Structure 1
Amino acid sequence: IGNEFCERFSYYGMRTILSLYLTQALKYTETTSTIIYHTFVMLCYFTPLVGGIAADSWLGKYKTILYVSLFYAFGNIVLSVSSITVLNIPHAALSLIGLFLIASGTGGIKPCVSSFGGDQFVLPQQELQLQRFFSVFYFSINAGSVLSCFLTPILREEVKCF
């Protein structure tokens, strides 16, 4: 539940300000920024097919969640480091690599987390606990999304790192 809250907070927060980052920091045109943004979102919703196949065919749900969560975290690190202007690095290329890693990571998390959580309960004995789990699970997803969409623009404006 905590992983999903943090993943949704991170994803929606980054997505909320991604277009601004692409146009203002990386100096992409509006058209190029829109193409990158929509390609990223498309990959985020296409890669769960690959993640689900990988989990069902080779790795299993737990290992898939573990590995792609690390992939996702590394993508966030790459994207964050790429935005540090004082470093003499290829900012645009690293940003795109970070976005690809994040899209790949979210693709492995989405198809596995809810079913992995549901697998922890024995039915019919724990039906009530299963219902409570999914209520809290989806609440945490939506809470992470809403809080992030609200807080990220404020943090972007108020907090300066470099």
Structure 2
Amino acid sequence: YDSWGHAKQTKLCGSNYPLSIAFIVVNEFCERFSYYGMRAVLTLYFINFFHWDENLSTSVYHAFSALCYFTPVIGAIMADSWLGKYKTIIYLSIVYVVGHLIKSVGAIPSLGNQAVHVVLSMVGLFLIALGTGGIKPCVSAFGGDQFEEEHRSKFFSVFYLSINAGSLISTFVTPVLRGRKVGVFVF
């Protein structure tokens, strides 16, 4: 604490950057990697695991994508009128991870009949959409709040680089891993 009783911020590698920036940037990279990686094989999952036709698979895929673009409205309302940015990010990140866990459990072949798989997968996708969209209006604003005006542009450059790097890398890596049949579940 300083002489005024305020907590001193821990700096990132001796720079003027708060340590929280590393967590924000790495979290955003991982979040985008996770989202786009799952989305890259989602239609194939519907077709090969659920044995849905292409029209239904594509419709559900696009409904999921649309929900992901609508839920930032919910996240913004939660952050601005109820929880604040930080708690909204924490809580909806947990919702996001739980969604991925439920979605993954729904892909276990020996779990039960197809109805169980579909219900778990759809609940998981709903939670993923709520999580990914809900944190979107908060994360960049929270990161920008960590800096004075003159240093924000550098943060946003690194922040959006991490978003695009996570998206790009996962879009290429996930289908390669699927093609090599890496992992426990192959659909």
Considering the TM-score relative to the shorter chain, is it more than 0.5? yes
The structure with the largest alpha-carbon Rg is 2
Q: Which residue pairs with 2:85 in the alignment? A: 61
User: Any residues of structure 2 matched to 1:68-147 within 5 Å, and which?
Assistant: 68-88=92-112, 90-123=116-149, 127=150, 129-147=151-169
Letter in 1 for 2:184: C
Q: Which residue pairs with 1:51 in the alignment? A: 75
| Higher RCO by CA contacts (8 Å cutoff, separation 6 or greater) | 1
Secondary structure in structure 2 of the residue aligned to 1:138: helix
* TM-score calculated relative to the size of structure 1: 0.94
1:26 maps to which of 13, 30, 50? 50
* TM-score calculated relative to the size of structure 2: 0.82
RMSD over aligned CA atoms reads 1.0
Aligned-pair identity (%): 60
Question: 1:86: how far off?
Answer: 1.9
Instruction: Verify: 1:157 aligned to 2:157, yes or no.
Output: no
Query: Which structure has greater helix proportion?
Result: 1
Unaligned regions of 5+ residues in structure 1, if any?
none
Aligned length: 158
Structure 1 consecutive aligned stretches of length 4 or more whose deviation exceeds 6 Å: none
Q: Distance in 2 between matches of 1:61 and 1:150?
A: 32
Unaligned regions of 5+ residues in structure 2, if any?
1-24
Letter in 1 for 2:74: V
More divergent stretch after superposition (25-34 vs 71-80)? 25-34
